[in-house]
Every structure is written in C-alpha cells, then in structure tokens.
Amino acid sequence: MKASRKKQRNKRIPSDKRKRQILDAARHLFAKRGYDKTTLDDIARRVGISRPRVIQLFGSKEKIYIAIAEMAYKAHPMDKDLAEPIRKKDDFAVFREFAHHILSHTTRREDREIAKILMYARLKEDSFHRTHFHEKDNLMMSRLTGYVRARVEEGAFKPMDYRTIVYTYQAMISNLVIYKNVLGQMEFVSIDQLAHDCARIFLAGIVAS
C-alpha cells in the first residue's frame, strides 16, 4: 500500500519539476563524489524515483552532466554589472565588478557545487569543462575581453596580448573563489574588500606608465 501511494505521488509531479530535482541531485553528487563515481542509480535514489525514469527524462548520465554545465552561468549574466563601468572607461570599476560578480555568485551551496565540479572537469578536460568555457565565453568573458582589447589598443594598458590579461585575471578570481567560498579560508576579508583589492593589485601590473 505504501509503495502504491509513493508511486501515485511520483506520477503527480510534472516532468519539468522532476527534471529540476534530477539536476539538483546530480549536481550535488557530482560535486561530492565526482562524475565517474556517480551512477544513474545514485541519482535516481537521491530523487526517490526509478533509474528508467531518469533515463526517460534525460537519456544518459552524460546528458545530465552537460545540462548542468549549460545552466551553470546562464543564471548570472555579467553584462549588467559591467555595462556602466565599461561605458565610462573606469578600469578599476570594470575589474572590481568582474571580481565581485564571480565571488558573490559562488556563495550559495548550488554555485559552490558547480565550482567543485569544474575543478574535477578541468583536470580531465571533459565535456563539462568544454561546455562551461563555451558558455562562459559567451556570458561572462566577452565583455571583459572586448574592453581589455580596446584599452590595450588605446595604450591605456601595457602592450601585451589582451587574452593573456583576461585569462590571467579570470584564473586569479577563480582560485580566490576556491579559497574564499569553497574552502572558507579567507574569512578575514569580505567579498567587497576582496574584489576591491583584486582590481587594485591587478591593475598595478597592467596599466601603462
């Protein structure tokens, strides 16, 4: 009787909501165990449904993985934060807002789990890594890249490849996300102050004399 009632409850949940539950469960498990050590049975068990139902909704574990990667940064587009500083050519504000955006949007458990998955993916150079960087280039990096390229061409920044500048800064902030939001080793500084200091330190090395 209990199994029958559980089955009836499961049937009443719309597919869209069930997909969201599967993605949430998979994200948590991928972050905790890694992609390879997580099975479809693990995901199904955490949601409370059958393995065939997971396959019916997503097709495979890899498709769940890619779906999480595609969603990872769509929720936090950076254009709004950078638009005004870029318009004013306020170098400090551009770099500060870039750092603040990433640091402040990795404080939630869900976003920290994405950061952990990305750490695994970077080492393996797998589909999550490739999808993540494709989406990030479109939604997070393009504005900063265009701005830095223009400032190098104008002579405001030192004559170096603009891509080196952008990827170096992005790497700097990504590592601070790990220390600050994932490992909790930087409780001595607020996100506001950290973003301020990152921009100040970095710009000291690239602004033309």
CATH number of the domain enclosing 201: 1.10.357
User: Model confidence at 108, in pLDDT bands (50, 70, 90)?
Assistant: confident
Of 36, 64, 92, the domain-final residue: 64
Does residue 81 have a pLDDT over 90?
A: no
Of 64, 90, 116, the domain-final residue: 64
155 burial level (CB within 10 Å; 0-12, 13-18, 19+): exposed
Is 192 in contact with 97 (CB distance < 8 Å)? no
Containing domain of residue 50, as a range?
2-64
Q: Are residues 160 and 197 in the same domain?
A: yes
How far apart (Å, rounded) are the C-alpha atoms in residues 113 and 106?
9
Q: Are residues 168 and 116 in the same domain?
A: yes
User: Model confidence at 97, in pLDDT bands (50, 70, 90)?
Assistant: very high
Query: Interhelix angle for 40-47 vs 15-33, to 10°?
Result: 120
Q: Are residues 158 and 133 in the same domain?
A: yes
Q: What is the CATH number of the domain that holds 21?
A: 1.10.10.60
Chain Cα centroid distance, residue 168: 17
Q: Are residues 112 and 190 in the same domain?
A: yes
| Tens of pLDDT, residues 29-67 | 998 888 888 999 999 999 999 999 999 999 999 899 888
User: Model confidence at 84, in pLDDT bands (50, 70, 90)?
Assistant: very high
Q: What is the mean pLDDT of residues 198-203?
A: 97
How far apart (Å, rounded) are the C-alpha atoms in residues 195 and 179?
14
Rg of the chain's alpha carbons, rounded to an integer? 20
Q: Are residues 17 and 114 in the same domain?
A: no
Question: Domain count of the chain?
Answer: 2
Does residue 1 have a pLDDT over 50?
A: no
Is 43 in contact with 21 (CB distance < 8 Å)? no
Q: Are residues 23 and 113 in the same domain?
A: no
59 burial level (CB within 10 Å; 0-12, 13-18, 19+): exposed
Per the structure block, which two tokens stand in for 55?
């396959």
Does residue 7 have a pLDDT over 60?
A: no
Q: What is the mean pLDDT of residues 25-30?
A: 93
How far apart (Å, rounded) are the C-alpha atoms in residues 151 and 91?
9
Q: Are residues 80 and 152 in the same domain?
A: yes
Residue 200 belongs to what H/E stretch? helix 191-206
Q: Which of 20, 109, 4 minimizes the C-alpha distance to 57?
A: 20
Q: Are residues 164 and 77 in the same domain?
A: yes
The sign one gets for the Cα dihedral 176, 178, 179, 184 is positive
Q: Are residues 77 and 58 in the same domain?
A: no
> What is the rounded end-to-end Cα distance, in angstroms, of the chain?
78
Q: Are residues 98 and 12 in the same domain?
A: no
| Tens of pLDDT, residues 125-182 | 556 656 555 555 544 577 889 999 999 999 999 999 999 999 899 889 989 998 999 8
